[in-house]
Structure 1
Amino acid sequence: MKKGDITREHIIMKSAEIFNQRGYAGTSLNDIIADTGIKKGGIYRHFASKDEIALEAYNYAASMVTRKFSEAVDQEQSASGKLVAFFRVYKNVVNDPPFIGGCPMQNTAVESDDTHLELCGQARLGLHTFLDMLKSIILDGIQAGEFREDLDVDALASFAFSLLEGGILLSKLDGDNKHMLMNIKIFSSYLQQCCLKTC
């Protein structure tokens, strides 16, 4: 990798952490300069604006979380195990989140909903990426005979992701992982009682 590419990647990685912790509005170019150790001219050699950095930083953060989800899912055999694995990625969201600052999609969506259309659009793409991952697992579960054939795939994916994001939000706000742990337990029980195919 060329030196310029390494520098650009360094800016993206450090900026992703800053934006995910402080938000877009709470992060200045001077913050990025301070955290990266790269002077203003060096930043502008790679990026035209703070907006461009923010979009690249969001994509990087989201890709890191997506990778964590994929790794967790790959360790499970059953469809129900794969769905619960999504939650386990964030089981210690207060002390050890998969990406510093919590869920990049949630943080970006909440802040940029009415203030930054491009960032909001990226968060929306992230939402659909994760929903598609969940729906694919559910469909595989139906085809394998693990889940009921009449299961509403869209509804279950939306419910699962809402429960996941709600657990992240409440746990971070309360400073206690109990909300996420309760949601893992509740979702696991829901899958057993309402979704699995019975003989």
Structure 2
Amino acid sequence: MAKKGETTRQMIVVAAAPIFNQRGYEGTSMQNLMEATGLEKGGLYRHFSGKEELAAEALRYSLKQSVKIRTEHVDGEHGALALLRSLVRRFVEKPSSMPGGCPLMNTAIDSDDGNPTLRGLAHEALSDWRTRLIKVISDGIRDGEIKAETVPREIANTIIAALEGALMISRLDGNRVALADARKSLEVLLNQIAAG
């Protein structure tokens, strides 16, 4: 059973995550955090050394939730291409459960010139995503399902760029058309790298 302090700390992270995701680091005030958590400043500082530590924990939580919703129930039983198609489909069909949209994109843009801690966490999340895709593609090459001349890093970067770019366009347009278009284009790409 979690200790009371750990439970309170987790409650603060869960309450703060959407605030940081919607407003960004600079746009989030201590007042916003106090209102979201129901705690005074001293109560927050009892569990976190400052706003940056809380923002980092909130980002870790947001990213974990985002990965979970987009990777649950993916089809990995029928090979690498089926898994890649399933991952693309989940990204397109399952919006982020975090208010404010994709925490990776939001943090990457928000912390580009500002907070090196958050920028580092966003880069780590991007690297993890790319690494997972590279492994799937490499396994597909090894198993003879994907053409041997395929460069896993190029395909992984293309998938990520297409999905995140389409997500940005969809958010600006206020509809999911760009995401559907990206899915179609990625399907063409996956058909092109399929062996045989």
Q: Taking structure 1 as the reference length, what is the TM-score of the superposition?
A: 0.92
Aligned counterparts of 1:60 and 1:97: Cα–Cα separation in 2? 13
Which deviations, in whole Å up to 9, do the C-alpha atoms of 1:39-60 show, x marking residues without a partner? 2211111011101100111111
Aligned counterparts of 2:34 and 2:170: Cα–Cα separation in 1? 31
Unpaired segments ≥5 residues, structure 1: none
- Higher mean Cα deviation, 73-82 or 55-64? 73-82
Identify the residue that residue 73 of structure 1 maps to in structure 2.
Answer: 74
RMSD: 1.5
Unpaired segments ≥5 residues, structure 2: none
Identify the residue that residue 84 of structure 1 maps to in structure 2.
Answer: 85
Identify the residue that residue 52 of structure 2 maps to in structure 1.
Answer: 51
Helix, strand or coil at the partner of 2:136:
helix
Amino acid at match of 2:110: E
Aligned counterparts of 1:88 and 1:17: Cα–Cα separation in 2? 24
Amino acid at match of 2:20: F
Partners of 2:75 and 2:86 within 8 A in 1: no
Aligned counterparts of 2:186 and 2:81: Cα–Cα separation in 1? 10
Partners of 1:87 and 1:180 within 8 A in 2: no
Partners of 1:69 and 1:85 within 8 A in 2: no
Aligned counterparts of 1:92 and 1:101: Cα–Cα separation in 2? 16
Aligned-pair CA distance for 1:74: 5.0
Identify the residue that residue 117 of structure 1 maps to in structure 2.
Answer: 116
Amino acid at match of 1:181: A
Helix, strand or coil at the partner of 2:149:
coil
Identify the residue that residue 37 of structure 1 maps to in structure 2.
Answer: 38
Amino acid at match of 1:171: S
- Higher mean Cα deviation, 12-21 or 83-92? 83-92
Aligned-pair CA distance for 1:82: 1.6
Tell me whether 1:26 sits opposite 2:24 in the alignment. no
Helix, strand or coil at the partner of 2:57:
helix
Aligned-pair CA distance for 1:75: 5.5
Tell me whether 1:139 sits opposite 2:144 in the alignment. no
Aligned counterparts of 2:124 and 2:19: Cα–Cα separation in 1? 21
Helix, strand or coil at the partner of 1:91:
helix
Which deviations, in whole Å up to 9, do the C-alpha atoms of 1:89-135 show, x marking residues without a partner? 33256xx4233221111100101111111111111111100000100
Identity in percent: 36
Q: Taking structure 2 as the reference length, what is the TM-score of the superposition?
A: 0.93
Aligned counterparts of 1:112 and 1:26: Cα–Cα separation in 2? 12
Identify the residue that residue 172 of structure 2 maps to in structure 1.
Answer: 173
Partners of 1:90 and 1:98 within 8 A in 2: no
Partners of 1:12 and 1:57 within 8 A in 2: yes
Aligned counterparts of 2:75 and 2:36: Cα–Cα separation in 1? 34
Identify the residue that residue 162 of structure 2 maps to in structure 1.
Answer: 163
